[in-house]
Structure 1
């Protein structure tokens, strides 16, 4: 029986092209963690996670330290008993879904490699859809966000996502300026990142009614999810749950109360592929469509996300743009950006990508 022989845990730091601003804080660089699980059959499974401390409560440092504990627990065990390993990881530490997602991704990479299949085929999917990402605009002045929106439209992105969540006056001014720049037909999505209270959310969304907004992500604080149905009922803009849906248990709660029109699935928020599949299944059963999103992942984790999308037709919106904001690309293979928002993927087995060893050479690493 193949066994886990060692686990590498690596800090991955990648600068942004420019600091990314949302209602919760400023993100100057990607501070990610890579996990590589080595198996006695010679296969290596790789996972990557991207902690946002103000969303998940995890940092690169906490992920790095806890990963050592999880690696020690896994060593000497069968990596292909997938559900058993994931259950052990889930039981070993409460929460910490970002950290868990790196191990989940690495174990799925191993499982698909052993099966000799691309991950999307291992998950039951087909490479039969064109996947176009939107492009995200961080919080800025009306002139700045309008200029960014126009640039992204000229670059061919099929839609933009605009970060809001400050106050009604400024947020409406941003969207008004963007609409004047890009015209009435270009798709705009917005994300308040929990920045409004209930009254402000309803007021702002109603004032945004003339601007043809596709959906609004997480308008109110995640802890106040019981009020999300009220916002949805009074909003002319469809509502998407993001920070209020970490796991399938959250998805069930939100579906029961009719809280939203969409779920936003992110591996670094859900704990990885296994839970993401469960969230999507609940969404399908409840008639809720899904979007996939990202934190500050490199093209490696986005490749894993692409495999998930190809296995889940219920995912209809794609926010797969984080690597396009990074100043460097440490990944070989994987998804390829063709321009105009289009991502393509090959038929490499497993996730089908790897990190450039030269890029990782000076990174902090521990081997368990």
Structure 2
């Protein structure tokens, strides 16, 4: 009988460079600053998790995650790693919110549990290989010429859809999309993300109507997240389908948006929901309400994105994937994990558990705290 009691928890800071700054309407990201959790059980099983905190979206940083992890880790020592719901309850009792760092613990626990079950994580979550996962590729916010050139390059590389960061003035954003359409043609799938940048319902609707001729699949988070009561009006009047991102953090947010009839699509991220345990609740709610679901992420490495990919295989209701940020790194710290194939195809590992780990060469020199029992 395996002994799945949590024996040790290690917390690491992971810094990695990007090929170029990644810019959204909320500001630029110049460097990857993630936290990695490694959990070991008494029987020698090891699970990995990762989070990518985002100051302007989930209100967490690498430093807050590192500190909060040191509240959570001692409380989980001695807990049965297979009791994920119990571990999530423990973390939620200790501190409110902080879903980014909680997601890293959650992923590591799921890694252990799936390994113990002898199943790849997607199968442990109830999924199967019944679809091919493909990722879009994101055009960062910037000058029109640069955005057009990036979009053309991504089309040439075979990505099946292109996502464009917007969220400035109507004139600037329309000019960007017009130029991109001139570059990639009228039919290549194109998605947009304002990251709350148009602020109000009236401002958002003005831009959305101006962009209507450009054949846009959907628009993420057009207005300020605190104005979610106005999102239903935006969705009803918009010629472009609306996807909630920042307003859809956890299952409680999802239930609220469904009750309000606020939108037709959700973007699920493990760093917003608190991990796989609670993300699956969003999936169930969305599926029952016929919401179109996307799984995305922040700036996770291939480790965190591997967890997201397993989630994407767990339900037929998940139609879109936004797994491109590891492609923006200059270095790859992950052993195993998802592989990026031609034409945006994402191959998910079939080994038991998550199927991904951080290379010891990176962890050996990382700032670290360890808790043991």
Q: TM-score, normalised by structure 1?
A: 0.99
In the alignment, is residue 295 of structure 1 matched against residue 298 of structure 2?
yes
Which residue, out of 156, 159, 176, partners 1:157? 159
Aligned to 2:214: 211
Which residue, out of 338, 342, 347, partners 1:339? 342
- 1:291-349 deviation line (CA, Å, top 9, x unaligned): 01110000011111111111111110110101011111000111111122111123111
Q: Is 2:100–2:272's contact at 8 Å kept on the other side of the alignment?
A: yes
Q: 1:15-34 maps to which residues of 2 (within 5 A)? A: 15-34=17-36
- 1:163-192 deviation line (CA, Å, top 9, x unaligned): 000110000000000001110011110000
Distance 1:75 1:277 in 2: 25
Distance 2:307 2:54 in 1: 19
Q: Is 1:167–1:200's contact at 8 Å kept on the other side of the alignment?
A: no
Which residue, out of 247, 256, 260, partners 2:259? 256
In the alignment, is residue 71 of structure 1 matched against residue 73 of structure 2?
yes
Q: 1:4-15 maps to which residues of 2 (within 5 A)? A: 4-15=6-17
**The residue matched to 2:43 in structure 1 has which SS?**
coil
Distance 1:132 1:241 in 2: 21
In the alignment, is residue 134 of structure 1 matched against residue 136 of structure 2?
yes
In the alignment, is residue 41 of structure 1 matched against residue 38 of structure 2?
no
Which residue, out of 293, 297, 309, partners 2:312? 309
Aligned to 1:361: 364
Aligned to 1:319: 322
Distance 2:192 2:62 in 1: 28
Cα deviation, residue 14, structure 1: 1.1
Q: Is 2:333–2:359's contact at 8 Å kept on the other side of the alignment?
A: yes
Distance 2:232 2:270 in 1: 25
Aligned to 1:54: 56
Q: Is 1:116–1:349's contact at 8 Å kept on the other side of the alignment?
A: yes
Distance 1:131 1:6 in 2: 34
Q: Is 1:263–1:290's contact at 8 Å kept on the other side of the alignment?
A: yes
Q: Is 1:165–1:193's contact at 8 Å kept on the other side of the alignment?
A: yes
In the alignment, is residue 118 of structure 1 matched against residue 120 of structure 2?
yes
Alignment root-mean-square deviation, CA: 0.8
Q: TM-score, normalised by structure 2?
A: 0.97
